[in-house]
Chains A and B, each alone.
Chain A
């Protein structure tokens, strides 16, 4: 229970801490230097696999395991061209498929979670506490408990081999994390806003749309970025519901590379791996602020 209190508390104290002198903990130049040294070494170890992946994608397949160094002796951009066309469909088809799932998932999550969060954070109705507790309960529910019946429902609906099983749950606010994130955010907005909007003649829906939602852009951005990353990486859902190779999302397409394993395919496979994680790194760089704040607020991965 008290678990849930953390975020708000943390937010307030963060501000308080900023006034404190930072150098109280900093230590002498010597210890500072050694700390930087350790942090840089750890960082290098952390990044090495990624750098190796990128460098391998630029080497001829035969060189990949012969050279340990990161700098390719023979540059080979052909891996990208070869990998792009190595599977049944050119790779942009899979990128496009993933994009469709991602875009609809983002729209669905923002739409349904913002609505639910507004009701939980700023409205009065019977059963609100109960529903909120229920919502928090679903946070900890392992998804596999619902797996078999949901699969049956989707197959009865004729939704197998479509993106609907991957997209539709997002329109039904099933992602309690994002509701929780937005509730936290909306609670911090002054209550007077709603009263003022009401006096000006706004109904609840207009208050939500015109007053609250525009103030929640940071929370929505966090939701969008997290949805992007988790949906882009999502492997289990597509594995379960998508059989048709033309509909494969990027993770399924990458797995197909593994099936056609063989030394000659290493380079192209690494090249397409780079292509598949590049959007995540891009979004990470662009949306760092929202990611770090979001994870510090909800503990989301």
Chain B
């Protein structure tokens, strides 16, 4: 953030220095002030529409609000109920497994493919497009529905496995396997972090590698000591964005299970459970408390990542 706003003091000083020389007609700075706010008017409205609900939901988290009756303050009752709610724990478990399995795999695949693509191959643009396309479709209802059939009892995955004489499981209806189909779906959308990795790899100067190979460094050594440190800010960026995104998964779980989170709550994502609580059972106080718990979890993970980044993310400047 500091870099983006760095220009401001300098520019302000320049404006101030130039001020005496200007004709003193009105106050141009004040005028600029006012039009600045005018340009931001829609954004201010949007912020009101963000900040008020932000605090309103914090308040509702401590009430028994149900959309039809006035909210009553109930203290920590919602949070206590959450602590003893097995479905809530299940939804956290599903979301965590999904996140901590699919995010590292998709980032690793994205980086690996980006490294191969960065080797100056012909047809880079075509490969990049082919790999990127699924990430635009991964969240659509059509594709999640398709996934149900691909992994269906006699879908193409089991058809493929049977070519090798393997009897595939009932992926979608077996609680032990249903979440893994969605993990595969998430890995399928590795294209968007891949494009970001590719952009980062392109900025690593080739002379570093030339110097390293003259010194006799192996490919692996070059990767570990040049590539990884130089693109570590991008790995970090991708990690944060993927984590935040995957904590908030909804459509995949909803469509795959027809809205139930089944079988046996095995695809009950946190946000799906929140939706069920808030908008089918109308326990909106509880849903607000859940939303705040998620906010806390995301905030803690982001903070931990930022602290940990000091030890492995390398900034050139």
Contact = CB atoms under 8 A, between A and B. Distances in A.
Nearest to A31: B119
A71 interface: no
Contacts of B147: 49
A251 B141 CA distance: 6
Interface stretch (B74-82, B97-105, B153-161, B166-174): B153-161
B83 to A, nearest CB: 20
B56 interface: yes
A144 to B, nearest CB: 5
Interface string B1-43: 1111101100110010000000000000100110111111111
A204 B32 contact: yes
A140 B302 contact: yes
A136 interface: yes
B111 interface: no
A255 B206 contact: no
Contacts of A172: 42-43, 45-46, 49
B140 A233 contact: yes
B145 interface: yes
Contact of B196 (A52, A143, A299): A299
30 contacts: A2-B233, A3-B236, A6-B233, A17-B202, A24-B210, A25-B119, A36-B121, A39-B116, A42-B113, A50-B133, A115-B42, A120-B40, A124-B32, A129-B5, A132-B5, A146-B50, A147-B287, A148-B53, A148-B56, A148-B60, A148-B65, A148-B278, A150-B49, A172-B43, A172-B49, A255-B141, A280-B140, A281-B133, A284-B129, A292-B128
A149 B134 contact: no
A134 B47 CA distance: 9
Interface residues of B, number: 116
A285 B8 CA distance: 39
A222 interface: no
A46 B121 contact: no
Contacts of B149: 65, 266
- Chain A interface residue bracket vs B: 35 or more
A292 B195 contact: yes
Interface in B183-200: 188-189, 192, 195-196, 198-200
A208 B147 CA distance: 46
Interchain residue pairs A-B with the least CB separation, the first 10: A172-B46, A125-B36, A13-B203, A149-B53, A296-B199, A119-B39, A273-B142, A149-B56, A22-B120, A112-B42
Contacts of B65: 148
B43 A149 contact: no
A148 B131 contact: no
A277 B202 contact: no
B131 A42 contact: yes
A258 B234 CA distance: 39
Contacts of B142: 53, 251, 254, 273-274, 276-277
Interface in A255-296: 255, 257-259, 266, 269-270, 273-274, 276-277, 280-281, 284, 288, 291-292, 295-296
B255 A295 contact: no
Given A65-B154, A135-B43, 17 more contacts: A1-B2, A3-B237, A4-B3, A5-B4, A17-B205, A26-B119, A42-B113, A42-B131, A52-B150, A142-B248, A142-B295, A142-B298, A149-B53, A152-B67, A153-B53, A205-B35, A250-B141
Given A25-B206, A258-B258, A142 B291 contact: yes
Contacts of A9: 203
Contacts of B45: 172
A128 B233 contact: no
A277 B144 CA distance: 12
Contacts of A25: 118-120, 206, 209
Given A148-B60, A276-B141, A46 B130 contact: yes
B145 A273 contact: yes
B179 interface: no
Contact of B35 (A23, A123, A300): A123
A144 B294 contact: yes
Contacts of A173: 42-43, 46
A217 interface: no
B39 A118 contact: yes
A134 B255 CA distance: 34
